Amino acid sequence: MKPLILALILTIFFSQRKFSQLEKVEFELEKIPFKMSLNSGVYKSRLSGASERENSFRNFSIFAQVYFPFKRSLDKPENFSQSNLASNFFDRLFTASPVAVFHLTEKGGNALGMGQELSFKIAQKTFLKSQIAVVWVESNSQQNDGLQSGLNFHHFWHFCSYINSKTYLSIGYNHISNGKIFSKEVGCLFDMLVAGIAHSFSK
């Protein structure tokens, strides 16, 4: 019994030592080539007065994201020495990228603004991305597409899978609302199921 207990204690001790060894990472500001994403999908309005169709995912909308030419990146030091033009390079362990957003619904409601997208690597070609932007919304008060004129937050959470080093496909969820931060009144209440594609136009 004692040898078994001793073996168990030694196993736990060396396992803890192994996992307590932290890997060194670096945080750098990187210049990136022109990149944009195009996204489309179905949305619903959660504003009061929405019809059965307006309050269901049977309405069409699109939005685009244009990335600024730089990003903040966190990765292992040796990975920064690798060219990001290599065919086996997809993205860093973590990045924070400023973006511009333009959104348009089938009823003419639109939003334009800027924000930031965070990217987390979960596999070699697979990433979880989260975007939040502050947008100015213009909407037609005679149309209920979930949008209300004024400042709102544009949220976009999505999973991405690279098909090559420059292009990825994504699926995700988009939500637009003011969170009653910019105004005490209810702003947009817009939910969208999204599929998209992003491409980097490097040489």
pLDDT at res. 69: 95
pLDDT at res. 14: 53
pLDDT at 166 over 60: yes
Which positions ≥6 away from 48 have C-beta within 8 Å? Answer: none
Which helix H or strand E contains 116, and what residues bound it? strand 110-121
Give the span between the Cα atoms of 86 and 122, in whole angstroms: 20
73 exposure class (CB count in 10 Å sphere: 0-12, 13-18, 19+):
buried
In the chain, where the domains are located: 23-200
Mean pLDDT, the chain, as a whole number?
88
pLDDT at 183 over 70: yes
Give the span between the Cα atoms of 132 and 154, in whole angstroms: 6
pLDDT at res. 67: 97
Tens of pLDDT along 85-95? 666 778 899 99
Pick the CATH number of 23-200 from 3.40.47.10, 2.40.160.20, 2.40.50.140, 3.40.50.300: 2.40.160.20
Name which residue leads in pLDDT, 55 or 10: 55
**Alpha helices (H) in the chain, listed in sequence order:** 2-20, 77-80
pLDDT at res. 203: 62
pLDDT at 78 over 90: no
pLDDT at res. 129: 97
User: Which range (81-85, 173-177, 194-198) has the least confidence?
Assistant: 81-85
Tens of pLDDT along 97-121? 999 999 999 999 999 999 999 999 9
